[in-house]
Amino acid sequence: MPQELQNFWLWTLEDALRQPIWWYGWLVLIILLLVLWVFRRMKRDLVSILKDDEGEVKITPNALQELVSKSCASTNGIHSPSTSIHQHGGQIRLLVRIQVNTDCNVKEARTELKQSIENVMLENLCFSNFGGVDLVIKGFKDVK
């Protein structure tokens, strides 16, 4: 076996497929990529919202998502928000995916929701690096 491994770069595809070490190598690579993907998905950094001479204020992503959910709950015609936070060049943008009622005026609901979220972010939390809100309609909900 060690002699075969010394010449592994000379293997053809058929030779490699017959060697268990080749399969184990691919399996380890796939497991490593899966573990890295899971850690990246689970990583939740604090988001810096304000930095001045007195110190820095940070907020958790879950708290930001909760603020967006409460803003959506107070807006008529909008349901099931899910929020993701994107940081680009020090600016924080929120991507909000929502369901809207079928009879909802999307333009008015969008304006009302954006104003509500921006009011909370800029006036209440004093976000110094807030870049805005992007909305994605992920579905429609029938009004009963």
With 0-12 / 13-18 / 19 or more C-beta atoms within 10 angstroms meaning exposed / middle / buried, residue 113 is buried
Mean confidence (pLDDT) of the chain: 83
Task: Judge whether residue 7 has pLDDT over 70.
Answer: no
Give me the residue spans of the domains in the chain: 2-42, 47-141
Higher-confidence residue of 141 and 9: namely 141
Work out the pLDDT band at 30, boundaries 50, 70, 90: very high
Span 40-60, average pLDDT: 79
Lowest mean pLDDT among 3-12, 87-96, 102-111: 3-12
**Global confidence as pTM:** 0.65
DSSP conformational letter for 127:
-
Average confidence (pLDDT) over 1-29: 73
Superfamily of structural domain 47-141: Cation efflux protein, cytoplasmic domain (3.30.70.1350)
User: Three-class SS of residue 20?
Assistant: helix
Q: List pLDDT tens digits, range 101-132.
A: 888 888 888 888 888 888 888 888 888 788 88
Phi/psi at 64 (5° precision): -65, -40
What pLDDT score does 43 carry?
Answer: 65
